[in-house]
Amino acid sequence: MQAGVSHPVSDVTIRPATAADAAAGASVYIAAEEALATSRRARPRWPSDAAREAERADAEADLAALARHPSDLALVALRDGAVRGVGGIVVRERHAHITYLFVQPDWQGQGIGRALLNHLAAHAAGCDLLSLHASPDPRALTRYLTLGLRPMPPTVRMASAAPRFPALNLHDQLESQPLHADDAAMLATVSDIDRGVRGIRRLDDLRSWLAADATGALLLQRGTSIPVGYYVIDPGGHQAGMGATASIGPVAAMDVDRLPDVLARALHAAGEISGEETSWRLDFPAENHAAVAPLLAAGFRPQRLISYLATGTIGRWDRYIFHDDDLL
């Protein structure tokens, strides 16, 4: 895409965001989310000022990362010289996933969302699959259905402030090898699992999670050393005034029957690093029925179902837990 491409919507310029646009983009996101909650007479979008500011900082970091990434894209829509809209898309091999589409409340309903979405879709033109998590805003749904996206099984978010992590099951016939960012052979095996289960490879994501604070393991069948699955655990960062929110995922099993064993290993490992103030979160596809009972048993409770729209399916998501709702 060319920088500074003008769109037919009068006076609107859509261009790739730079790191310098990230703060303005995050503010558009916060304002649009808060206005949507107000218009739906819903509870305040964030429970406290601290939570809203933490989300703003996360969004700013997200948008800056999208702008830096070689295959991803962040966009801003400018009108009268200021940022009025923001868009973002993650591309991994043949799968493109839209992660941001927000227009400043005063500027909504004037075609800015359409212009942003058209540019995001153009960026995804080489992909087989386009997807996103949709807000309940009927204007957003109008845009998405018009673009050809269709409702799919939702994403399930489950969380717990005090999980009951299971003891290690010594009879699961699994051999666990800790993941290391610099172990190319091991990451190649994990990447093969991703190819079959997630539907795409994402070696760079794996490396960057592990190079930060995440831990994980490749699980092999004891005796044969055939790969059974893998998991990653991200301890999350402490934010001012709040404890850490840690996450479990990706979790992937080659065979759906083995997902409970792989998940049990992940839950056990999470228990090993969980602090008193740590709360835990997982996002997984609704197709993954096998994850529900073990998570309920560990004290996780559903927080919400998140609408997922896509142009098709990819991978084998009945045996998969996402890293998060953006990178999937």
Ligand X SMILES: CC(C)(COP(=O)(O)OP(=O)(O)OC[C@H]1O[C@@H](n2cnc3c(N)ncnc32)[C@H](O)[C@@H]1OP(=O)(O)O)[C@@H](O)C(=O)NCCC(=O)NCCS
Kindly state whether residue 134 participates in binding ligand X, applying the rule CB under 6 A: yes
| CA 19 to centroid of chain Cα atoms | 20
| CA distance to 3, 67, 81, 104, 208, per residue, from 73 (Å) | 12, 6, 21, 19, 18
Binding of residue 96 to ligand X (CB under 6 A): no
Pick one of 67, 72, 121, 135: the residue that binds ligand X (CB under 6 A). Answer: 135
- Name the minimum Å distance from CB 279 to ligand X: 25
- Is the preceding omega at residue 166 within 30 degrees of 0, hence cis? no
Q: How far is the CB of 6 from ligand X (least distance, A)?
A: 16
Beta-bridge mates of residue 282: 158
Measured between alpha carbons, how far is 75 from 285 in angstroms, rounded to an integer?
Answer: 27
Number of residues that bind ligand X (CB under 6 A): 21
Q: Is 64 in the site for ligand X (CB under 6 A)?
A: no
Using rule CB under 6 A, residue 59 touches ligand X: no
Question: Residue 103: phi, psi to the nearest 5?
Answer: -125, 135
Among 18, 27, 110, 221, binds ligand X (CB under 6 A): 110
**What residue is closest to ligand X based on CB?**
113
Q: Could you write out the DSSP letters of every residue in 266-317?
A: HHHHHHHH--TT-EEEEEEETT-GGGHHHHHHTT-EEEEEEEEEESS--S-G
Backbone angles phi, psi at 180, to 5 degrees: -130, 140
Residue 321 found at the interface with ligand X (CB under 6 A): no
Told to check if 101 binds ligand X by CB under 6 A, we report: yes
Q: Does 142 bind ligand X (CB under 6 A)?
A: yes
Tell whether residue 108 is a contact of ligand X (CB under 6 A). Answer: yes
Candidates 4, 44, 47, 109; binder of ligand X (CB under 6 A) is 109
Which region, judged by CB under 6 A, interacts with ligand X, from 42-50, 61-69, 99-107, 216-224? Answer: 99-107
Q: Which is nearer to ligand X, 135 or 245 (CB)?
A: 135
**CB neighbour list of residue 215: distance below 8 Å, 6 or more residues apart:** 178, 179, 232, 233, 235, 269, 273
- Minimal distance, residue 105 CB to ligand X, in Å: 7
If you compute the radius of gyration of the chain from its CA atoms, what whole number of angstroms results?
Answer: 20
Q: What are phi and psi of 242, to 5 degrees?
A: -140, 155
Q: Does 99 bind ligand X (CB under 6 A)?
A: no
Question: Looking only at residues 6 through 45 of this chain, which bind ligand X when binding is defined by CB under 6 A?
Answer: 32, 36
State the nearest-atom distance from the C-beta of 116 to ligand X, in Å: 7
Q: Does 63 bind ligand X (CB under 6 A)?
A: no
Cα torsion 311, 316, 322, 328: sign: negative
Residue 32 or 54: the one with the smaller Cβ distance to ligand X is 32
Record the tokens describing residue 170, joined without a space. Answer: 């010594």
| Smaller CB separation from ligand X, 36 or 54 | 36
Among 13, 46, 79, 111, binds ligand X (CB under 6 A): 111
The contact set with ligand X (CB under 6 A) reads: 32, 36, 101-103, 108-114, 134-135, 137-140, 142-143, 146
